[in-house]
Structure 1
């Protein structure tokens, strides 16, 4: 991200680009841990480094950085042992990008350090018989307000259709939301829960549990932070988001009160 922000796009990334930089990561720190420290979720601190670098560079090149985004590798897995064998479904979810000086953040897109695509629901229906997707869509009101708003997160719900299904997840952004820049508001938190009968069971960001037939497992990914003062957002942009169902009228009145009152 340093190269992208501080140099021209036509300069290729090579060894010479790295020579001016010195990285200090003391042995035993979070970024350079000692064995037997667990490192399976190593991308989570990597994303926080990305956020810290972007925030630092915002002081030198405010027009080239983005606000904090969902920026987490949400690894989501459902496994099932049946008479015919063991099957595992794994997907890596994205969320909302941070906004920039001229653009709203991208909605429900893979995180910056990942390279995974969206899996169509129809493909999941054909491939797996121990769950089905019952809801999938953008999460209204999840974007951080700003002159340019953050990207929206999304929600996806799975109904478990067999016994002996195990769920595992490691993610982030369940406690600290993506930060806005230059007066933009923070984005929104992620969360995960299981609906079982009349109960709703909250799930931690790093967790595993056994699921029962009939459970509905829902994941909500977070939205990105806004860029710039929300009072400077255009009325047309607010109206467009309301019309498209990305922003409810109630949230528009709350997040953009001066403009909504016009």
Structure 2
């Protein structure tokens, strides 16, 4: 049998991505920005993260920062807390209709040789409810991607391979393996991408290009840390689930 205290407080944790499919208004808490680019030295070693509370009640939140690694081509959060990324304040209580500013600051090596990446989690904390009140508390949980690079460092993205993966619907979709031999991170989604598919007999059956804004709708920004290789699916339906696909990335000026 569930204890009385547990009956009064049942927490439901939602990530920012889950809000879009949950039917729960995503405007109740608003975190901006959700992608942060910092430099390891100079004026851009810090920035401000803002949380807006549009609830009618006070919201307590806690911020934590953990390192990211690339494992099997996937960007994964580790259990390692970030000692060189300062988040201040780490906890706050935000009144209804108010905003709270948090400072995100790199305090590590100013001359890093490789890019560093983190998830800063903004987690809404449960509150104690009055006696004899049963309720379900929906707790919002936002992940903010923070990347740190050295001033003057450059990325060098290259498409290593393109595979066609067929889903349960029988439709083929392209999956890129993109490497970065540069000394800082790069975003695939900030390039122009041209994709060509040829049938097994060599005939060209698809040729299409996407500008950065369009490409980001299909695959996100496509972060590739320095010295890493990422597996990046593109959400398009290919005319055939077989044949060969080639991809060309073209840098776009002033992006």
Same fold (TM over 0.5): no
TM-score normalised per structure 1: 0.24
- Larger helix percent: 1
TM-score normalised per structure 2: 0.25
Task: Please tell me whether Structure 1 or Structure 2 has the larger radius of gyration of its CA atoms.
Answer: 2
